[in-house]
Each structure stands twice: as C-alpha cells, then as structure tokens.
Structure 1
Amino acid sequence: MQPTGHIAPDNLLSLEAYSKWRKTHKGEVIAHRQLRSVPLGEHLNLQFESELTIRYQIQEMLRIEKIFEEEGIQQEIEAYAPLVPDGHNWKATVLIEYTDVNERRRELARLIGVEDRLFVEVEGCERVYAIADEDLDRENEHKTSAVHFVRFELTPGMCASVRAGAAVKLGCDHTHYPVHQQIRPETLASLAGDLR
C-alpha cells in the first residue's frame, strides 16, 4: 500500500490482498496516525491526515462493508480522497472529546464556531485560520459537531520555512477555548513531508 500521489481504484489493494497486508502493517499505520495527532488542550485533538491515513481509511471501509464493485470503491474514494493534503496545505480531522455525555452536550453548545477559530502560525509568519467542513455544515444554532474536517492553506514562503525547520504553533482563539502550543518537532517533521 505505497503512496502514489493519487488514490484510484487501480492502485488500491483487493480485499484479499489488503487482509494480508493489514495483518503485518496495521501497527505501522496506527503509529503514523499517533505521530500526526496533536492534542490541543484537554478536549480537542487534531489528527493530521496523509495519503497513508486516508488510503488506510478507504481500505478499511472497503473491508468492513465488503465493497468490491467499482462504483462502491469510487464512492469511498470520493468521500475520503479530498482529505489528502496536496502539497501546500495540511488537512486534519478535528475531534472534540468529552467523556461525560452531559458535559459534552453543554460544551458542544458553547463551542459553536470553534472549527473556524483554529489556526497554525509558522514562525515569523501570519496566522492561517482553518477552512472548515467544506463538504457539509456540521453545526446548527444549538450546537457544533464533535467531528470537523479542516484545511490550513499555507503560502509558498510558509511551506519553505517549515521544510527549513521553522517552528509552528497550533492554536484556537475561540472565546470558550483559548489555547495554543508548539507542534512537537517529530510531528512537525512528518507534516513538513506533506509540503512541496
């Protein structure tokens, strides 16, 4: 399951081949995903996607749903492939995590708009705010969703700075969730690999 730069039906594994691949490589994918997960405060977690994480997600959906016909495979690709970064951005799944159901309900009502207040700040550059939920709106006037999909668009200069080793801050300036922190060097090294 090698990255190709483009996920297509002809470069995905068959269900049988994926089942064999999964037995020996699942741990590597989980470690890659953990490396690219950035907790932001106690209740937000950004999981930065890559071709590997999305390829794995598609293969898992095909396996679970036992999808082997081209139309179904194409639908899964169309659902997930837009989450692969394309050389000048980072894309992430944002999880808002509260274990207590009542606290979660209360906080999701307080955090309406939180996905639009997420930012990255490359050392020496302006903040870049997330572009959120481009596929569909995930909140209403009563609450936000516990899951969002965001994209951070970086300028060519920012991409070059990150590849050259600049520090990057991840943050949120929502009224009810102000927090920011440096992205760990090992995570940033993986994210730098997404940029051209």
Structure 2
Amino acid sequence: MNHDELARELAEFWLPALVDRDWEGRLKVLEEIHSQLYQDLATLEEYDSVASRFVAAVIEHLGAPPVRENAQAQIYATSANEDHWGAAFAWQYGQAEATAANGKAHAGHERRRWPRQWVDKLTEAWVQGEAIRCRILDLSRGGARIATFGGISPPAPGTAIHVAVPEDRIREAIVVFSERGKAGLRFATAAGAA
C-alpha cells in the first residue's frame, strides 16, 4: 500500500471520531494518532509522508472550511496540501496583524514576544547527553514547543536541553513548562540575535 492509500484509509477510519468534535478536540485526537503513527511506521520519512497526507485527507473529508481559530490553524499547518498550510499561515499572520493594530493582545490572541509558527517536524533533543526523539510542534525566535513519544516524559521545568531545530541548528534551551507529553522551551539566545 502506498502512502496516499494508507493516509486515505486512515482518514476514513478516524473520521467518525473527529467529525463531531470542535477543532480543539480534533487537535487532541490527531496528536494521539500522530504519536501512534510515529511508533508504527518504519522510518521518519514514512511518518512525515503518511502523517501529513493523513491530515490533508481528514481536512478534505471535513469540507476544508476556512480557518477561524488557533487549533484549526495548527491542524491545517501540518497538512501535505499547500492550500491548507497556506490558509493556516494566512490566518496566523492576520491574527498577528490584528493584535499589532490594536496595540495589545486580546483574550485568545497570541501573547508571546515573538509570533510562533507551527512546524510539526520530527527531531531529537538531548538532556545531559541522552538523546530523546521528539517532535517540534511550534517554533518562534525565542523558543519552541516539543512533544515526546512512547510514554517518555518530557524534561521537567528548569532542565537544560539541546534541541535540533529543523533547517537551523542545535539550539540550547531551558524547559519552562512540562505537561502531558509536551514541553515548552525558551532558547538561550533568540534566533537571529548576535
């Protein structure tokens, strides 16, 4: 079975569990499915291919509605379909522009110093020299959010960590929060800082 067929089959199987949920609920279910796919598929390349095509198929089955909220944008940003992730980033950009135009962040809007981008890429992190396979969920100049797999707990707040940032380099960071398989990282220096 090729990656497209597998992704379509998975989308059809999981659609009943997704269709009646809001976007937050869908995001939580998809994160669990992604964790299982990561364990089940033989290579990182296969995981990346199937997972992104699976998300694209799910979005299409849901009718590909316009992006209206953060959780929906996070889902769209991981799709293999350029129209989907383009819509996610357009929505994110619109939110950042609206926040800047108002001069302050409103409830539900991004409050971070730097805007974040949804990445959803497999990578590695190191805590005291020990490698941890993880996924970068989002990324900004000042930090990142990662998810761990296979029941591995993320490092505790205050832990020094090194993380390989896709298409960048290995970055030093400190864990600022850790909960339910996810950790927020603050980089030692902001990207682009001298």
For normalisation by structure 2, the TM-score amounts to 0.30
For normalisation by structure 1, the TM-score amounts to 0.30
Instruction: Between the two structures, name the one with larger relative contact order (CA 8 Å, sep ≥ 6).
Output: 1
